[in-house]
Amino acid sequence: MNDYIKRSDLAAIISDLLVSPWAARRMSDVALGIREALCLVQDIVNDEVQNDALKLPAADVRPVVHAKCLEGFGHILCMNCGCQFGPMRLNYCPNCGAKMDEEAQG
């Protein structure tokens, strides 16, 4: 199963790393040319982001299920799970959570 993280959490890790005193010290400790400095920064960022990203908690997500719905006789039928509900049409099935965005062929 895939793990999902919030983009904002990863962006915060990268932002914190790029302005960290540790990265600045690492750059100033060695007299480097531009190319070497960029390679060093890339290595630092890659290593630190990978380490910190693995520590992020996985988000609680599940795949989106798309379904068709049939309307009739004052009820709506979810074609994914067979649940009948209504009379108001919803954007999702209250039973299985399927997103009701596919057109029913009749």
Q: What is the pLDDT along the chain (106 residues), one digit of tens a residue?
A: 567 777 777 777 777 766 666 666 655 555 556 667 667 777 777 777 777 777 877 777 778 899 988 888 888 899 999 999 878 888 899 999 999 887 654 4
pTM: 0.44
Q: Residue 95 carries which DSSP code?
A: T
Q: Two tokens at 38?
A: 């960029």
List, in sequence order, every beta strand (DSSP E) within the chain: 66-72, 75-78, 84-85, 99-102
